[in-house]
Structure 1
Amino acid sequence: MGFMREFREFAVKGNVVDLAVGVIIGGAFGKIVDSLVNDLVMPVVSKLFGGLDFSNYFIPLAGQTASTLAEARKGGAVFAYGSFITVALNFVLLALVIFVMVKQINRLRRETPSAPAAPPAPPEEVVLLREIRDALKK
């Protein structure tokens, strides 16, 4: 029964629950950022570069004569360097979007006025020594 009790204590610790919440929110946030890059940013980038689509750039390694990457993969091995370029470009754009978002969040945190922190209460020994000092002055 000790194993189950230890597991329950581990599972309900604040750190584990915080991590679970972070993973769930991170997954949802990842989908939002992924959609932002794929549905909003990449079409604009593609339009700026004349409708360039790297995803169908490949070198057939098995002598295929296909015009699309999907057809070429059906025929054998393919060196799909265009897919890598697309993924690398998506990563750079995704990193840029996340950087800008984090930078804005940090800026908003700095601008948000917070109540001044009260000085910490002195230790009990200090309070007693001050009382003794004040009593001796009288």
Structure 2
Amino acid sequence: MAFLADFKKFLLKGDIVALATAVIIGQAFNKIVGSLVKDVIMPLIGLLLDGQNVNNLFFSLDGNNYETVEAATEAGGAILTYGNFLQAVIDFIIIGFVIFWLLRGYEKTKKKEEAKPAAPKGPTQEELLIEIRDELRKK
């Protein structure tokens, strides 16, 4: 019975609940950023590449001129699909930028909360020692 009670206490601990909440929000955030990349940014990059999808960029290692990645794969050709790598790099940069942007906004709100007036400072240790010395001289 003690095992189940400890397990229940562990599950309902604030850290675990916060972590579970962060994972759920992270999954939703991933969908939003994924849609931003796939549906907004990549079509714009595709325009720069004359309508070609970045994922379809490849280099034939065996010297054959394949039309698409699928055609090369079906023919058993040796290809280097650098488009997939570029897509992953673009995704990483965009996700990093969005996270940076959100954290920067969060930090600005924290600074506003922390910008409270500081409590007045008391005398320094040296000032207190001087006062004690002066009082002792008077006696």
Once structures 1 and 2 are overlaid, which stretch shifts more, 89-98 or 20-29? 89-98
**What are the residue-to-residue correspondences of 1:121-136 with 2, within 5 Å?**
none
Q: Structure 1 vs Structure 2: percent identity of aligned residues?
A: 36
**Amino acid aligned to 2:39:** D
Shift of 1:50: 4.4
* Secondary structure of the corresponding residue to residue 67 of structure 1: coil
Shift of 1:102: 2.4
CA contact under 8 A between 2:37 and 2:94: conserved in structure 1? yes
Q: Which residue of 1 aligns with 2:83?
A: 82
Unaligned runs of 5+ in 2: 120-139
CA contact under 8 A between 1:62 and 1:75: conserved in structure 2? no
**Amino acid aligned to 2:82:** Y
Shift of 1:34: 1.5
CA contact under 8 A between 2:54 and 2:87: conserved in structure 1? yes
TM-score (norm 2): 0.65
Shift of 1:2: 2.5
Shift of 1:74: 3.0
Provide the C-alpha distance between the structure 1 equivalents of 2:109 and 2:44, rounded to a whole number of angstroms: 28
Q: Which residue of 1 aligns with 2:33?
A: 33
Once structures 1 and 2 are overlaid, which stretch shifts more, 91-100 or 39-48? 39-48
Once structures 1 and 2 are overlaid, which stretch shifts more, 55-64 or 89-98? 55-64
Q: Which residue of 2 aligns with 1:95?
A: 96
**Amino acid aligned to 2:47:** K
TM-score (norm 1): 0.65
Unaligned runs of 5+ in 1: 120-138
Q: Which residue of 2 aligns with 1:20?
A: 20
Q: Which residue of 2 aligns with 1:70?
A: 70
Q: Is 1:105–2:106 an aligned residue pair? A: yes
Provide the C-alpha distance between the structure 2 equivalents of 1:62 and 1:2, rounded to a whole number of angstroms: 65
Provide the C-alpha distance between the structure 2 equivalents of 1:54 and 1:107, rounded to a whole number of angstroms: 36
- Indicate how the Cα distance of structure 1 residues 47 and 60 shifts in structure 2: closer, same or farther if over 3 A, else same: closer
Provide the C-alpha distance between the structure 2 equivalents of 1:47 and 1:105, rounded to a whole number of angstroms: 34
Provide the C-alpha distance between the structure 2 equivalents of 1:38 and 1:66, rounded to a whole number of angstroms: 25
What's the C-alpha RMSD, in Å, of the aligned pairs?
Answer: 3.1
**Amino acid aligned to 1:24:** I
